[in-house]
Amino acid sequence: MHWINGPIYYKGFYHLFYQYNTKSAVWGNIVWAHSVSRDLVNWKALEHAIYPSKWFDIKGTWSGSITIVPGKGPVILYTGINQNETQLQNYAIPADPSDPYLRKWIKPDDNPIVTPDYTMNGSAFRDPTTAWFSKDGHWRTLVGSKRKDRGIAYIYRSRDFKNWVKAKHPVHSKASTGMWECPDFFPVSLTDFQNGLDLDSIGPNTKHVLKVSLDLTRYEYYTLGKYDHKKDRYVPDGNSPDGWDGLRFDYGNFYASKTFFDYKKNRRILWGWANESDTVEDDMSKGWAGVQVIPRTVILDTNKKQLVFWPVEEIESLRGNYIRMNNLNIKPGQRLEVKGITPAQADVEVTFNVGSLEKAERFDPSFTFKPLDLCKIKGSNVTGGVGPFGLIALATPDMEEYTPVFFRVFKDTSTNKPKVLMCSDARPSSLKQDRGPLPKDKMYKPPFAGFVDVDLSGGRISLRSLIDHSVIESFGALGKTVITSRVYPVKAVKGNAHLYVFNNGTQNVNVESLNAWSMARPLLMNNGAL
């Protein structure tokens, strides 16, 4: 299984370290696996970086991060589990920092470098973040934790990257959110909406992002706010919901993500893990579970209220056969097939124009933070006013299997403004049923949904979907809302898969432009040089 640990760019290579079970497609026996790439697309698997071997990690080498420390090179910070099941923070260093592949790692005997004190929960204390260096001469890192049902991010300081001291107060905490796994903490620019920032960027022209993975919900949430580096306290903006109703990097199958600053191209890149929707039995049968999604760039939206995400430009190198469709009116109840590409493995970019919003359905204010409820009630086949409209991916012609990704426009009566819902609905995605005494489908096939903060004054809204057999990554309104779905069709596979644009509203929707490409397979090399 693959969870994120620490991605970095070092000496001409992108390095991805990830949690990996060497013996089975279920959790357990976790090591830090390691792959490298020159372009974020084609990857070479190397030997494992670290694995349980010392008293301070004998029961697990869990998630963490990597920091490039001047004079030392890359340093891994990771959570180890000792014989007593206490979670400890440790470090590892490369045997040869001059090796661009970073093949060999050493775990010094002066570990652990951080242990939970008597006030803390030693069984919920993990996942140190990438550290940053401050003008006061201290390195800082965050560690996720909880106290009863309160999620916590502790902050630690060090001058030498070995001796770490906990700050007087947590950098932030929130009641009723449970364990904060895989925290991520980084700045974004308030003036430059094209490039990313390194972690040491602090000042009046920056905001900070605090992302946490909530163990209770298995979703991730983030806030935007201000970080007081003198007090080591983070305060979310008043309009940035904190907790289960907060913003998300991705509203679908997406967890345990990690960002890093790519100084090669001056951008912040997000890696995320797409967990399975398949059954455990089928995971065991196929021998793998969990995949990394396409890396995404991260910037602050120009409205300064949320982040936006977009697939890294390198993925376009896999584009092959190309088709274009322009100025197509899709009538109510109509679907049009997109031909000329390989629908099971494609990159599709489409711009819709909905025209008038007069027929938009009334939006019930009680649904303000519950887009998933709306998607469950008003699926792709439930006729609306403006929508539902969008793409139908991985479909059979008779619609026995299909995965719709779509928008539906409401009118918020309290503001008299449009409210746009985006859904990716896996419920009709597969006929697959569990192999057992009863033919009962045990697959996890949920709808996923989020609202899209988009200006519809011109009637336009865009959708990009990356379709790759069992994964559909969809980006609404140029990355304002992103949804990843795991799906497992049994009929709509390979050459039998079809792709459509559709409209189930009561008024026409215009496809101003649709660009679609067949996508080639990247190179995954276990031997040979990149």
> How far is residue 37's CA from residue 290's CA, in Å, rounded to a whole number?
20
pLDDT of res. 155: 98
pLDDT average, residue stretch 58-64: 94
Range of the domain at 73: 3-311
Same domain, 39 and 87: yes
One-letter identity of residue 304: K
pLDDT of res. 171: 98
Contacts made by residues 466-470, CB under 8 angstroms, sequence distance 24+: 466/294, 466/311, 466/315, 466/346, 466/347, 466/519, 467/343, 467/344, 467/345, 467/346, 467/347, 467/348, 467/393, 467/394, 467/499, 468/344, 468/345, 468/519, 469/344, 469/345, 469/493
397 is a domain residue: yes
pLDDT of res. 510: 98
Q: Convert 186-202 to b/e letters by CB count within 10 Å (16 or more is b).
A: bbbbeeeeeebbebebb
359 is a domain residue: yes
Same domain, 368 and 423: yes
Q: Residues of the chain with pLDDT > 70: what percent? A: 93
Do the Cβ atoms of 92 and 78 come closer than 8 Å? yes
**Each residue of 5-46: pLDDT tens digit?**
889 999 999 999 998 876 655 556 789 999 999 999 999 999
Q: Residue 290 has which token pair?
A: 């969990």
Same domain, 288 and 326: no
**Each residue of 205-264: pLDDT tens digit?**
999 999 999 988 889 999 999 999 999 999 999 877 787 778 999 999 999 999 999 999
Report how many domains make up the chain.
Answer: 2
Same domain, 369 and 478: yes
15 is a domain residue: yes
**Each residue of 392-447: pLDDT tens digit?**
999 999 999 999 999 999 998 888 889 999 999 999 999 876 544 444 567 788 99
> How far is residue 367's CA from residue 425's CA, in Å, rounded to a whole number?
18
pLDDT band (50, 70, 90) for residue 287 = low
Do the Cβ atoms of 87 and 81 come closer than 8 Å? yes
- Domain boundary among the residues 268, 289, 311 is at 311
| pLDDT surpasses 60 at 517 | yes
**CATH number (domain holding residue 369):** 2.60.120.560
Longest CA–CA separation in the chain, Å: 69
pLDDT average, residue stretch 488-512: 97
Q: Residue 522 has which token pair?
A: 């990247």
Q: How far is CA 295 from CA 27, 253, 487, in A?
A: 24, 15, 20
Q: Which helix (H) or strand (E) element contains residue 300? A: strand 296-300
Same domain, 146 and 295: yes
Same domain, 291 and 414: no
**CATH number (domain holding residue 175):** 2.115.10.20
> How far is residue 111's CA from residue 264's CA, in Å, rounded to a whole number?
32
Same domain, 500 and 421: yes
Same domain, 158 and 283: yes
524 is a domain residue: no
Same domain, 254 and 386: no
- Domain boundary among the residues 265, 280, 311 is at 311
pLDDT of res. 438: 45
528 is a domain residue: no
- Domain boundary among the residues 287, 311, 335 is at 311
pLDDT of res. 290: 76
Same domain, 220 and 341: no
One-letter identity of residue 217: T
pLDDT of res. 526: 64
**Each residue of 300-353: pLDDT tens digit?**
999 999 999 999 999 999 999 999 999 999 999 999 999 999 999 999 999 999
Same domain, 307 and 327: no
